Amino acid sequence: MKRIVSLTVNGVAHEVAVEPRRTLIDLLREDLGLTGTKKGCSIGDCGACTVLMDGVATFSCLTLAIQADGCEIETVEGLAENGQLNRLQQAFVDHGAIQCGFCTPGMLMVTTELLRNNPRPEEEDIRRAISGNLCRCTGYQKIVEAIQHAAKEQI
């Protein structure tokens, strides 16, 4: 039997009827049409599905929609400000930190969490923060540089 889940996504309140086994990522992508969040491995290895749940970077593929009831969700669609890429997104573009782009939403969300908790991260902090997110294109170096640049700019 379906259940009603109430949650806020990027500041907009939603009530969605879901099967108990529905994952948060399927709610976001299929019920709300927010396909920015990517589904990679489905077992917590790749980090592509990362969203912020009450401010905490969370695997949306290993979270049931029911568990997100009453929570505030932030996805990559919520990052842009007034229709413009935010500083972090722009830094990813400027530094070549995006190639195929599949890991990018997850990378942006874990980095958003990092920079909120630690506005001046050392390189080591950055590498550790993205250590649960796989990127098969960039070799990570350009992602690290983009994050360093965004962190410098925000101060």
CB 151 within 8 A of CB 122: no
Per rule CB under 8 A, count of chain residues that contact other proteins: 28
Using the minimum distance from each CB to other proteins, give the nearer residue, 18 or 91.
18
In the complex with other proteins, the residue whose CB is nearer, 17 or 80, is: 17
Whether the CA torsion 58, 86, 148, 139 is positive or negative: it is: positive
- Minimum CB–partner distance for residue 115 and other proteins (Å): 14
Confirm or reject binding of residue 50 to other proteins (CB under 8 A).
yes
- 21 is an interface residue for other proteins by CB under 8 A: yes
Q: Per rule CB under 8 A, is residue 35 in the interface with other proteins?
A: no
SS (H, E, C) the chain: CCEEEEEEECCEEEEEEECCCCEHHHHHHHHCCCCCCCCCCCCCCCCCCEEEECCEEEECCCCEHHHHCCCEEECHHHCCECCECCHHHHHHHHCCCCCCCCCHHHHHHHHHHHHHHCCCCCHHHHHHHCCCCCCCCCCCHHHHHHHHHHHHHHC
CB closer to other proteins out of 131 and 154: 131
- The residue from 12, 17, 41, 80 that contacts other proteins (CB under 8 A) is 41
Q: Is 124 in the site for other proteins (CB under 8 A)?
A: no
> Pattern of binders to other proteins over 69-108, x per CB under 8 A?
----------------------------------------
Binding site for other proteins (CB under 8 A): 1, 3, 20-21, 23, 26, 41-45, 47, 50, 56-59, 62-64, 66-67, 110, 128-129, 131-133
